[in-house]
Chain A
Amino acid sequence: MKYLAIAILVVLPHMATADGVQIEGNVQAKCVIRTDRTGVYGNPTANKLSASPADGGVTPIIRYDVALAGYYTARITYPTSFSTSPTLTDTVTWTGGASVSSVSTAQMSAYDAAKVEYDSTTEFDLTVAGTTWFKVDSVAEYGYDKAFPAGTYRAVIQADCIAK
Chain B
Amino acid sequence: MVNIMPDVVGLDVTGVYYRYTIGKDPAADALVHVQNENALGAGYIFRETDDWSGLAGNTITKSVPVSNIPLRYWGLGSIEVEGEGTISNASVIYSFRVDECANPQSDPTCAGYEPPVPSVTFGDTETYDALEDEAYAIATQKTDQEYQEDKESTEEQSDDKERKARLERGLAASKNALALANGISQDAIISAMGYTSDITVYYTAQLDGGSYADAPMPVDGKIPENKRGLRNGLAQQVLHEQMVDLQYQ
* Interface residue ranges, A against B (CB under 8 Å): 100-110, 112-113, 131, 133
Chain B residue with the shortest CB-CB distance to A102: B59
B41-64 Cβ-contact flags toward A at 8 Å (1 or 0): 000000000111001111111110
In the complex, whether B33 has a CB less than 8 A from a CB of chain A is no
B32, B57, B58 — most chain A CB neighbours (10 Å): B58
Instruction: For residue A111, give the distance in angstroms from its CB to the closest CB of chain B.
Output: 9
A110 and B62 alpha carbons, distance in the complex (Å) = 17
Q: Could you list which residues of chain B lie within 8 angstroms of chain A, going by C-beta atoms?
A: 19, 26, 32, 50-52, 55-63
Question: With the chains together, A24 CA to B61 CA distance in Å?
Answer: 38
State whether B55 touches A107 (Cβ < 8 A). Answer: yes
Give the secondary structure class of B's interface: strand
Contact A110 B56 (CB under 8 A): yes
Q: Are the CB atoms of A106 and B63 closer together than 8 Å? A: no
- CB neighbours (8 Å) of A100 from chain B are 58
CA distance A101 to B51 in the complex (A): 18
The answer for the CA separation of A103 and B60 in the assembled complex, in Å, is 5
- Chain B residue nearest to A133 in the complex (CB): B61
Most interface-central of A107, A109, A131 (chain B CB within 10 A): A109
Is there an interface contact between A113 and B56, defined as CB atoms closer than 8 Å? yes
What separation, in Å, do the CA atoms of A113 and B60 have in the docked complex? 16
Partner of A102, one of B26, B32, B58: B58
State whether B51 touches A106 (Cβ < 8 A). yes
Question: What distance in Å separates the Cβ of B34 from its nearest Cβ neighbour in chain A?
Answer: 12
Cα distance A112–B59 in the bound complex, in angstroms: 12
Other than the known A103-B59, A103-B60, A106-B32, what 8 A-B pairs have Cβ atoms closer than 8 Å?
Answer: A102-B60, A103-B58, A104-B60, A104-B62, A107-B51, A109-B55, A109-B57, A110-B55
